[in-house]
Structures are given as C-alpha cells and as structure tokens.
Amino acid sequence: MTHPDPSPTPGRHLYRATYLHTPGNPFRDAQVLDVQQDGGLLVEAGRIVQNGDFAALARAHPDAVIHDLRGGVLLPGFVDTHVHYPQVRVLGGLGMPLLEWLDRNTLPEEARFSDALYARTVAQEFLSGLALHGTTTALVFGSHYAGAMEAFFGEAQRSGLRIVAGQVVSDRMLRPELHTTPDAAYREGLALAGRWHGQGRLLYAVTPRFSLSASESILDACAALLRDVPGARFTSHINENLQEIRTVADLFPQARDYLDTYEQAGLLGRRSVLAHNVHPQDRELAHLAAHGCSVAHCPCSNSALGSGFFPLARHVEAGVRVSLGTDVGGGTGFGMLKEGLQAYFMQQLMPGGRPLTPTDLLYLATRAGAEALDLQDVTGDFGVGRSFDAVLLRPAEGTPLGTVLRHAESAERTLAALFAMGGAPDVAQVWVAGDTVHGGPAPVRAPL
C-alpha cells in the first residue's frame, strides 16, 4: 500500500529510498559510509526498528505502510551546532571583522528582542529557515531576553524540530540593554529550563555569549545553572578573532588562555560545544580533548568575517571532536550542504589543510553534530534505535544537480555533488521522529 498522507499513522512505516549515512566517525574509523541503493527503513512510533535492503524488509513486513521515496537521496537530518536565532534578519552583513560586525550590524538587532511579539515573529522565520534547509536538530544561540526565549521555545515546540537552546547572558562590553546580572542570569535561566528542558524535543543550553562580555561572576552563575539543570548543555564562543582574543587576555589576566576562562569556571565537559576556535593554543586543544568538548566549526562565518582558517588537522590530531555550524548571521545562511562545501574549500586552500572527503562532509553535517550534543543515540544516522530524522534531497527534473545525480557512478560522487551543488530548493521533505516538518507530497486537491 502506498500512503500519500505526510502525517504518520500508527503502525509500521517502511521508507523506500536510496539512503546514505555515516554510522561511525571517519576521522577515527575506516569505512564508515553505509550506502543502500534500494534501501528500506522500517519505522515504528517514529523510531527506526530495522534497516537494510528494501525488498527483504518488505517481504518480512507485508503489513507496513510503504513510503516510496525513490528518485532522490535520503540522508539523516542535518545537525547545526551553532546558529543564532536573533540574527536571521541581519544575515548578509558582509565587510566587517567580528567586533565591528557585532557593534554595527548585530547587537542593535538583538536589542529589538525586548519586544516579545517581534521575537515570536523572528522565531518562526528562524525555525522555518532550519527546516527548509533540511536541518532537524540545532544548538541554537538564543536571545538575551527571557521573554524572547519563552516565545522561541513555544515556537520551537510547535515546529517539531529538535532544539537545544538557552538565554544568552552577558554583563559587560556589549550595550547596556543587553546586560544582565549574575543573579538574574541564574534565576531566569533556571525558570526557562524548568519550563522547557526535556519537554518533547527541547533541551536547555547554558549560554554566556563569550568571555569578552562576561565577568567571572556571571561565568560562575552559568556553572551553577549547569549544575542545577541535569542534562543541560553548555555553549559559547572561543578564539574566533585576534582582537577578541587580545581583549579577553586583558580582561582575564589570571587565565592561562581563552579556554581557561571557561575551564576555571567549571563549564567544560562532554556536553560543551565551543564555536569557532580558529586560533587555538596547543594547551587549549589538549584540554578540549581531555574534557571531551566539541568545537563547532563555522567556515562560512570564518570566511565572511575574515576570522581565519580553521586548523582542522590540529583538532583531529589532538583528539578534539569537531562538528559544523552555520553561525547565522555571521555565516551566510542555514544551508548545511553549503557549510560542508565551505569547510572543504578552506581545507583545500589553507597551508597544511586536511583534505575532506564526501564521507567526512556527511559525517560533519550529521552524526558529528549529534555526538557534539550527546544525542548520538537519538539522531545523526539511520542506525536501529535512532529517531527517523531525515532529509530527502530530490532536485527538480532538468536541473544541473538532477543531471549529475542521474549519471553519478558512485555514492561518493553522489555525495560530493550534493555538497557542491545542493541547497534548499532540492529539499523535498524533512522528518523528525517520523513527523513531516517540511515539504512532503503535494496535497490532494478536490476537483473543481
């Protein structure tokens, strides 16, 4: 039976597709790309219960509702590990380095989120930006305002996406209306986490903006919040821009380096994700690895803001886990395929860069992000037990990408073409836990 309704019905669903995923880490293990040309994913209550060859699964489960997704490529939903909710409307502000870009382009917009109605409208714009690019899970840098975060979490819950997010806190060096106090940072964060952390697909992330805008006291308040919200994640920025790094060194004369400002506060662990790290010291890499932290690499942002080349090889050699982030709005949009391509370009161009394979790019855009968020048992690949979080890429007939895919002679070639040429127009449907969150079959129209 073919099932035209995009909303899941009870029972078993068998998705028939060419699918590709990376159940392992290609920076560590060999041969992690799993390819099924005529594959099947058997899904029950939103979770994958069997995977493999379609014909075999169809024979074994004649009762399953079949969803025929042939003619495209099915990938695990993308995981964006660094993306700013209040920066959608300032995307594309090119031509400035980080600190000037914050002052002139970005912080004036972020101040508008004191208006919760405005915040709700932008939250909708932001969440649809994620879904229509095939992102199913995101670690979201929030707003400085608790009311804006309340609106955001409400919209995030309605969107069906997996969202890890928190109120951003700062108590110096930005603009007064974006500053809070350590006490309010703790109190408001605890209240938001109490309402939203662990609700459905939502998790809370403790989020000081960066050490440049944080006193030791507010970092301590963040550590207290992290301790008092079991399962909360931690995220911030690090080592993005040379001027920023010099200022942080002046503000924290006791700190051994930038990482130490977070380390001394007790903010580092397996569920900590630091964005950028373009200019790390060796000690910082060693300690990031020892704490099990992840670094969110944001190559479009690093290019747009002229922050520098990301030393991926040094991260991999030190054993630091790396995932990808679009860094909307320092980056150039929500596209994780584009982000992968830019990572590839920059490693090609930088002296000592690490050449990235198509399999590396798929891993970075999917499973690496799930690992960074400690959600690898939930999402990031099509293994048994994972949630059915997926993106169907199906370029329109006659498009150059459609032509290339039709003639692709290997799975690597298919993947390379998707990263080189794919984007939102090619995203046909997106699912989280078996629920369609974007696209799907065209609605059946009643005859006129």
Provide the minimum distance between the beta carbon of 180 and ligand GUN in the complex, in angstroms, as a whole number: 15
Provide the minimum distance between the beta carbon of 407 and ligand GUN in the complex, in angstroms, as a whole number: 39
Provide the minimum distance between the beta carbon of 222 and ligand GUN in the complex, in angstroms, as a whole number: 15
**Sites of contact with Zn ion (CB under 5 A):** 275, 327
Q: Which is nearer to ligand GUN, 210 or 363 (CB)?
A: 210
Of residues 218 through 237, those in contact with ligand GUN by CB under 6 A are 237
Q: Which is nearer to ligand GUN, 20 or 293 (CB)?
A: 293
Q: Which of the choices ligand GUN, Zn ion, none does residue 240 contact, using the CB cut-off of 5 to 8 A by kind? A: ligand GUN
Tokens linked to 430: 């997106």
261's CB contacts (< 8 A; 6+ apart) are: 211, 214, 219, 248, 252, 255
Is residue 327 involved in binding ligand GUN (CB under 6 A)?
Answer: yes
Tokens linked to 352: 């000592």
- Looking up tokens 């399999």 gives 359
The distance between the two most distant Cα atoms of the chain, rounded to a whole number of Å, is: 75
- Helices assigned H by DSSP within 292-373: 299-304, 312-318, 336-349, 358-365, 367-372
Q: Which is nearer to Zn ion, 51 or 342 (CB)?
A: 342
Q: Which of the choices ligand GUN, Zn ion, none does residue 209 contact, using the CB cut-off of 5 to 8 A by kind? A: ligand GUN
Provide the minimum distance between the beta carbon of 116 and ligand GUN in the complex, in angstroms, as a whole number: 21
- Helices assigned H by DSSP within 197-251: 216-228, 242-251
Distance CA 121, CA 157 (A): 15
- Looking up tokens 């129209």 gives 445
Q: Which of the choices Zn ion, ligand GUN, none does residue 315 contact, using the CB cut-off of 5 to 8 A by kind? A: none
Distance CA 24, CA 78 (A): 16
3-state secondary structure of 293: coil
Q: Which amino acid is at 8?
A: P
Of residues 182 through 211, those in contact with ligand GUN by CB under 6 A are 209-210
Q: Which is nearer to ligand GUN, 170 or 347 (CB)?
A: 170
Strands (E) located in 113-177: 135-141, 162-166, 168-169
Quick one: which segment of 98-106, 180-188, 346-354, 356-364 binds ligand GUN (CB under 6 A)?
Answer: 98-106
Provide the minimum distance between the beta carbon of 342 and ligand GUN in the complex, in angstroms, as a whole number: 14
The enclosing H or E element of 157 equals helix 146-159
Return phi, psi of residue 23, to 5°.
Answer: -70, 0
Task: Give the pairing of strands 427-432 and 435-439.
Answer: antiparallel
Q: Which is nearer to ligand GUN, 210 or 431 (CB)?
A: 210
Distance CA 281, CA 239 (A): 9
Provide the minimum distance between the beta carbon of 315 and ligand GUN in the complex, in angstroms, as a whole number: 18
Q: Which is nearer to Zn ion, 218 or 275 (CB)?
A: 275
Instruction: Tell me the residue number closest to ligand GUN, measured at CB.
Output: 330
Provide the minimum distance between the beta carbon of 239 and ligand GUN in the complex, in angstroms, as a whole number: 11
Q: Which of the choices ligand GUN, Zn ion, none does residue 98 contact, using the CB cut-off of 5 to 8 A by kind? A: ligand GUN
Q: Which of the choices Zn ion, ligand GUN, none does residue 106 contact, using the CB cut-off of 5 to 8 A by kind? A: ligand GUN
Among 171, 203, 326, residue whose Cα is nearest residue 271: 203
Residue 36 zone, left/alpha/beta (φ > 0; ψ -120 to 50; rest): beta
Q: Which of the choices Zn ion, ligand GUN, none does residue 210 contact, using the CB cut-off of 5 to 8 A by kind? A: ligand GUN
- For residue 425, the 8-state DSSP code is G
Distance CA 298, CA 439 (A): 27
Provide the minimum distance between the beta carbon of 357 and Zn ion in the complex, in angstroms, as a whole number: 27
Distance CA 201, CA 209 (A): 24
Q: Distance of CA 19 to CAs 43, 74, 215, 386, Å?
A: 14, 5, 48, 15
Inter-axis angle of helices 116-132 and 146-159, nearest 10? 40
Number of residues that bind ligand GUN (CB under 6 A): 11
Judged by CB under 6 A, the residue of 17, 98, 206, 417 near ligand GUN is 98
Q: Which is nearer to ligand GUN, 97 or 440 (CB)?
A: 97
Provide the minimum distance between the beta carbon of 98 and ligand GUN in the complex, in angstroms, as a whole number: 6
Distance CA 67, CA 49 (A): 16
Q: Which of the choices Zn ion, ligand GUN, none does residue 232 contact, using the CB cut-off of 5 to 8 A by kind? A: none
- For residue 177, the 8-state DSSP code is G
Provide the minimum distance between the beta carbon of 240 and ligand GUN in the complex, in angstroms, as a whole number: 5
Q: Which is nearer to Zn ion, 15 or 101 (CB)?
A: 101
Is residue 330 involved in binding ligand GUN (CB under 6 A)?
Answer: yes
Q: Which is nearer to ligand GUN, 41 or 222 (CB)?
A: 222
Of residues 75 through 94, those in contact with ligand GUN by CB under 6 A are 84
Of residues 269 through 308, those in contact with ligand GUN by CB under 6 A are 301
Residues that bind ligand GUN (CB under 6 A): 84, 98, 102, 106, 209-210, 237, 240, 301, 327, 330
